[in-house]
Structure 1
Amino acid sequence: MLERTFDALRVPNFRLYFAGQTVSLVGTWMQGVAQSWLVLELSGSGTVLGLVVAAQFLPVLLAGPYGGLLADRADKRHLLLATQGCLATLALVLGLLTVTHVVRLWMVVVFAVALGAVNAVDNPTRQTFVPEVVGPALLRNAVSLNSVMTNAARAIGPAVAGILIASAGVGVCFLANAASFLAVLLALCLMRTDHLLPSPAVERGPGQLAEGLRYVRATAGLWAPLVMMALVGTLAYEFQVVLPLLARVGVHGDARTYGFMTSAMGIGAAVGGLGVAARGRAGAVPMVVAAAGFAAALGAAAIVPSLPAELAALACVGAAGTVFLATGNTTLQLISEPRFRGRVMALWSVTFLGSTPVGGPIVGVVAQHFGPRAGLALGAGACLAAAALGLTALPRIPARHRLLARRSPEQPPTTTEADRT
């Protein structure tokens, strides 16, 4: 079982990619915590924090489909070198502005929008690069290990950020994130390009965005998970808004408390990701089960009374959220045809990240006026609604997409006309 859990790491290029991303994502989580805390220091408002988070993800909502189309057209490794370099530069400049005490709230908003614009291209490119590194047979395992990596970084990064903010200041976190991008840039440069399995590039032509949307709309195994993710992403994954307020108002803590809360989620998420890597299933039915489990975990986090109990509940939230994310991501990648995969995963980014401009302010207002626990309860309700929607859609989803079987390398995942409803 343990050997099967780490199957994808037998691929040398994936080991490089995995190691580089691990270092970089620790820095990314440090910056996320630092940015939220900086906004609270500059404004003191949960509503403003929600608006800043919304500004960061608005470009993903507006430009995400174009980013996916670019990922379908371009050499993904070269595109990642460009986007990761841009992200490093943004972190460096924001860090310098912060440590020199020049930073103002409007500057943070500008950098948040710029970060979102780069991520509109970077997110679908990173997700669709993984199949080119490991191939279809190891895709599910690689996606799950990526979830483990992301959430292990979530466990480490925020805890380090909380300590650094309290001891050295917010700006140091941004500078550390800028330095962390060197690891992923080096990994991309060291990869054996002759061992990659690139998808055929999509030639430029009219109507390609509309073609991708029509493909998703005609495939119930794709649109149902995307609509579920839209509900959950809008109101449940707003932890950048809820957790700082929960730390500051709900349990009367400080930046270290916020870091520990995010780390608790990360530890739980890493455990959940390992479980998915070892035994995880994909398809519509596992997504419904995962959404219901996520609702239960969020509901528990909304009602527990003390900090230790809250940390335990947040660990469960992290585990359940990772199972839902990894299941949905793998489902879409296994079902979608390779020539549409960039556009499909761009829509996944839009529903997950791009929904924040809508959900961030809503959750911010709810948490500001009714308390952060009400924000968690709102997320639990959204997860229940997603599970109900998935159940309603099951009769329209082909049986082979309700519970996806493992495939061999000779049988890459495809979607035929008969599977579309």
Structure 2
Amino acid sequence: MTAASKESRLGGMFRALQYRNYRLFFVGQGISLIGTWMQQIALSWLVYRLTDSVFLLGAVTFCSQVPTFLLSPFAGVIADRFNRHKILLLTQTLSMLQAATLAALVLTETIQIWHVLALSAVLGIINAYDIATRQAFVIQMVDKREDISNAIALNSSMFNLARLVGPSIAGILIAWVGEGVCFLINALSYLTVLASLLLMRLKPYVRVVQEHRVWQSLTEGVGYAFGFPPIRALILIVALLSLFGMPFSVMMPVFARDILHGGANTLGYLMGASGIGALMGALFLAQRKSVLGLGRIMIFTMLTFGLGLIAFSFSEVLLISLLCMLVSGFGMIVTMASCNTLLQTIVEDDKRGRVMSLYSMAFMGMAPFGSMLAGTVAEYIGVSITLAACGLLCALSIIPFALNLRKLRRLVVPIYQRLGILPEIARGLQQASSLATPPEQR
């Protein structure tokens, strides 16, 4: 590979950063996410320190994420009807206040488990509207539609770089000064994302008059998403991965303290290793120039994620556990980001908020049910067997998608042709589908 081609490929990996609004968002959100991951690690350690209960670890996650499951469809309607920029300003401000309240309770040593459960539920309600709106807001920050996939991959890179940095800092701070400082830093970090949103130069918002009421709009969006097999299949994959795979993070404090015989630093190392793997996966997606082949890649990475969890569940050696977390992190983020990219590419603009709210519902909304189920089962059969079962279910859940991949690919071809998105991909998919069609049917 020549120096020029290497430079071109490197530039292509970060091409979404050419847009000013996206650059602002990338920096502000990146700093804020470090604080978010610090809070998540500190919260799980706080709960386990106060209660010694795996069940309550799952209960806190349930309270923080079940509102997303219940409210995301309505949040998607809101995102399609109102100014997404103003919605994000509101949700980020409320999230900052939630973190500040949590910090005050911990630093004054008045925190109780019911405080944690209540504040987690409040954050879950805020996130239901924030996630759906933020996913739909990407298209307003990136002018060219063909760069949306790169923006999504860079978002994943940013998210997982924060997951690498945040837990590592949190582990050190928890050992030195306790969990309260982590919550305080998270509250202050929201100032950066609020500043980035205020500095954006956006086109004047023009509200589109909606003929349908909220319930009718919601029904229309659900019918559109689940009536089209490719969208339905992608949302189902995200839901299954979230249901069976995401509970691994809830059980991390147990593995760190009781199986690997470590402390908060060990928990930070495990989450950091998962973050490194996820960052590698996100950068792998960022350097890709097209969405061609993402379906096949998703099959491989979903299997990788499941097998990585199984191997981790039986490890009692820190180094092996870190390697397993790295592999699992890679598989998880490539699968999730690929689903996001494909959805953002094929969905119609006027239904984007509603479809992405269903994606958020599958991603964040199914996780609490998985966490509660895994936490309950782990109380009876142990965390190792529970996590191994979760990994096996993740690996098995991709099989239906693999069997129907060719049929789903054919349904997507006309969308690329009609919208003129990445013509070279449309031609490639068309050729692939024609080759797969028997000669007598051509």
Q: Shorter-chain-normalised TM-score: which range?
A: over 0.9
Q: 1:185 aligns with which of 194, 199, 217?
A: 194
Q: What displacement does 1:115 show?
A: 0.3
Matched, 1:157 2:166: yes
| Aligned mate of 2:360, from 338, 342, 349 | 349
- Inter-CA distance 316–189: structure 2 relative to 1 (3 Å threshold): same
Decide whether aligned partners of structure 1 residues 199 and 27 sit closer, same or farther in structure 2, where only a CA change above 3 A counts.
farther
Match of residue 271, structure 1, among 280, 287, 298: 280
TM-score normalised by structure 2 residue count = 0.88
1:147 alignment counterpart: 156
Q: Is 1:23–2:34 an aligned residue pair? A: no
Change (3 A) 1:152 1:193: same
Whether 2:66 is the aligned partner of 1:39: answer no
For 1:281, the equivalent position in structure 2 comes to 291
Runs of 5+ unmatched residues, structure 2? 1-8, 427-442
Higher-Rg structure is 2
- In structure 1, C-alpha distance between the alignment counterparts of 2:307 and 2:51, rounded to whole Å: 33
- 8 Å CA contact retained: 2:274, 2:328: yes
- Is residue 14–residue 150 contact of structure 2 (8 Å, CA) maintained in 1? yes
Which whole-Å deviations, capped at 9, do the CAs of 1:244-291 have from their partners, x for residues lacking one? 111111211111110111011111111111001102736544332332
Gaps of 5+ in 1: 415-421
Note if 1:383 corresponds to 2:391: no
Q: Which residue of 1 aligns with 2:440?
A: none
Corresponding residue number in structure 2 for 1:108: 116
Q: Does 1:307 align with 2:328?
A: no
1:222 matched to which residue of 2? 231
Equivalent residue number for residue 76 of structure 1? 84
Q: Which runs of 4+ in 1 moved over 6 A?
A: 402-411
Aligned length: 411
TM-superposed deviation, 1:342:
0.8
CA RMSD of aligned residues (A): 2.3
Deviation at residue 375 of structure 1 after TM alignment: 3.3
Summarize the alignment of residues 242-257 of structure 1 with structure 2, pairs less than 5 Å apart: 242-257=251-266
Larger mean Cα displacement after TM superposition, 366-375 or 169-178: 366-375
Match of 1:193, SS? coil
Counterpart AA for 1:271: M
CA distance in 2, matches of 1:386, 1:402: 25
Identity score, percent = 36
Distance change >3 Å, CA 28–CA 212, structure 1 → 2: same
CA contact (8 A) 1:286 1:403 kept: no
When normalised by structure 1's length, the TM-score is 0.92
Q: Say if 1:402 and 1:236 are closer, same or farther in 2 by CA, change over 3 A.
A: farther
TM-superposed deviation, 1:309: 1.0
Q: Contact 1:288 / 1:386 at 8 angstroms: preserved in 2?
A: no
Are the equivalent residues in 2 in contact too, given 1:229–1:352 (CA < 8 A)?
Answer: yes
Judging changes above 3 Å, is the alpha-carbon distance between structure 1 residues 78 and 326 closer, same or farther for their aligned structure 2 residues?
A: same
Whole-Å separation in 1 of the counterparts to 2:206 and 2:358: 19
